[in-house]
A = this chain, B = another copy of it.
Amino acid sequence: MAKLLYHITMSLDGFVAAPGDDMTWLSGLHAEPNPVVERVIGGIGAVLMGHHTYAPATTAEGEVYGGRWRGPIFVVTRDAAPSPGFTLVGDLGEAVAAASAAAGDGYVAVLGATTARRCLEAGLLDEVLVHVAPVLLGDGVRLFDHPGGTRVRLDPVELSHAGAITNAWYRVA
């Protein structure tokens, strides 16, 4: 059965995008080989993303990870314009079900903070893999946003590092 994995790169201070959804801070940070990234990309059967991630990601038909992965991509959205290679689904549960079916025994990689938060709060998220980058951003889109606070316990799956990147991989407890 497919597992939902929130897979993302984060600044040390917990931001996955700079203010204004700016992703240029990532440039050069994944320059060194990272065996965990390669392993995970090889295990992804489908991708699930939200509106915010979809818009700038539509650089090529059905490609993410800078073209290193191709396959079925599901977008949770009620109003985005369709694009070849992307399946648009309005309801989160239906999108997760469709992505899971497409992924088979592989991972559904959840890309994007809003969709990941919705999956986590709906009890659908299985794992979190964060690549912690050596930079402080101070503001922007947070890894996980739950106004008022909560406590989600995580169980480590694998903690490692590759060059300047820390790979922190957990199962949602």
What is A's interface to B at a CB cutoff of 8 Å?
10, 12-15, 18-19, 22, 25, 120, 128, 130, 132, 134-140, 142-156, 159-161, 163-164, 166, 168, 170
Q: Which of A19, A130, A134, A136 has the most CB of B within 10 A?
A: A136
Q: Which of B135, B143, B148, B155 contacts A153 (CB 8 A)?
A: B135
Contacts A13-B142, A13-B143: A150 and B136 contacting too (C-beta < 8 A)?
yes
Residue from the list B14, B120, B156 in contact with A134, Cβ < 8 A: B156
Flag if A150 contacts B134 (CB, 8 Å): no
Do the beta carbons of B136 and A147 come within 8 Å of each other? no
Shortest C-beta distance, A147 to chain B (Å), equals 6
Chain B residue with Cβ nearest A153: B135
Question: Can you name the residue of chain B whose Cβ is closest to the Cβ of A154?
Answer: B134
List the B residue with the shortest CB-CB distance to A170.
Answer: B134
Instruction: State the CA gap A166–B140 with chains docked (Å).
Output: 23
Nearest-CB distance from A15 to chain B (Å)? 7
Cα distance, A98 to B136, chains bound together (Å): 27
What is the minimal beta-carbon distance from A13 to any residue of chain B, in angstroms? 4
A130 with B14: CB separation less than 8 A: no
Closest B residue, CB atoms, query A158: B161
Residue pair B25, A151 in contact (C-beta under 8 Å) = yes
CA distance A22 to B148 in the complex (A): 12
Are B144 and A138 in contact, CB atoms less than 8 angstroms apart? yes
B-chain residues with CB within 8 Å of residue A152 when the two chains form the complex:
135-136, 138
